[in-house]
């Protein structure tokens, strides 16, 4: 029994996204027999990881971070002793942009309300943003725009917000794992940054 109906509320988001014809990416999705990538993981997770938009592997399966970047994310989680099934993983944009391009501002604006609802349902204590688009949206959404800067300066830093939503949250920007696929320096930095998460696990704040 789920007294908060989190499973049902998240399922409702998925059902809405399946028929989200207002999106400029809807036709591209249906023409290619792709799926919307809503999110995956523990609906009571302490840690929520938010990327930018799904790639081809993700769109083909409906699962976030299941391609090359996902394998790196799995290793990052393993490096700090966090099980993937204990966290919740999603993106701002839920459909794949053409040719894996960056999401457009209007696409972020269009899909962001779905992410906001996911945040309200799951109420994570720690949000790890993966990439600059996710970082910018989440920090602005939680009233931290005055702390924004380039991701090259903010990666691995800790930001606390009493939230414009209904719960307090700690936000930790990270590089996107895809940025480290062919860049060993970025990959090393990502692994170093992820060690920051250990302090929250030690406080028994992991789901």
Mean pLDDT (the chain) is: 93
**Residue 204 pLDDT greater than 60, yes or no:** no
DSSP string, 134-193: HHHHHHHHTT-GGG---HHHHTT--EEE--SSSS-EEEEEE--GGGGSS-HHHHHHHHHH
Domain positions in the chain? 6-202
Model's pTM, two decimal places?
0.93
Contacts by 68-71, CB closer than 8 A, 24 or more apart: 68/178, 68/181, 69/176, 69/177, 69/178, 69/181, 70/177
Give the pLDDT band of residue 207 (cuts 50, 70, 90): very low
Give the pLDDT band of residue 30 (cuts 50, 70, 90): very high
Q: State the architecture of 6-202 in CATH terms.
A: 3-Layer(aba) Sandwich (3.40)
Average pLDDT estimate for 91-101 = 95
- Quote the pLDDT of residue 161: 87
**Residue 159 pLDDT greater than 60, yes or no:** yes
- Quote the pLDDT of residue 194: 98
């Amino acid at each position: 029994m789920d007294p908060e109906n989190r499973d049902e509320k998240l399922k409702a988001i998925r059902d809405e996204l399946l028929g989200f014809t207002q999106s400029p990416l809807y036709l591209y999705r249906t023409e290619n027999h792709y799926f919307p990538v809503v999110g995956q993981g523990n609906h009571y997770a302490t840690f929520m990881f938010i990327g930018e938009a799904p790639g081809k592997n993700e769109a083909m399966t409906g699962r976030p971070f299941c391609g090359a970047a996902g394998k790196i994310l799995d290793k990052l989680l393993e490096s700090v002793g966090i099980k993937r099934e204990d966290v919740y993983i999603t993106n701002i944009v839920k459909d794949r942009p053409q040719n894996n391009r960056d999401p457009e501002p209007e696409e972020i604006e269009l899909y962001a309300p779905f992410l906001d609802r996911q945040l309200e349902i799951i109420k994570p204590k720690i949000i790890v943003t993966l990439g600059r688009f996710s970082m910018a949206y989440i920090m602005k959404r939680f009233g931290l725009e005055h702390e924004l800067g380039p991701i090259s300066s903010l990666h691995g830093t800790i930001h606390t917000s009493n939230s414009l939503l209904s719960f307090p949250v700690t936000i930790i920007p990270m590089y996107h794992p895809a940025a480290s696929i062919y860049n060993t320096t970025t990959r090393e930095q990502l692994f170093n940054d992820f060690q920051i998460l250990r302090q929250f696990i030690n406080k028994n704040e992991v789901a």
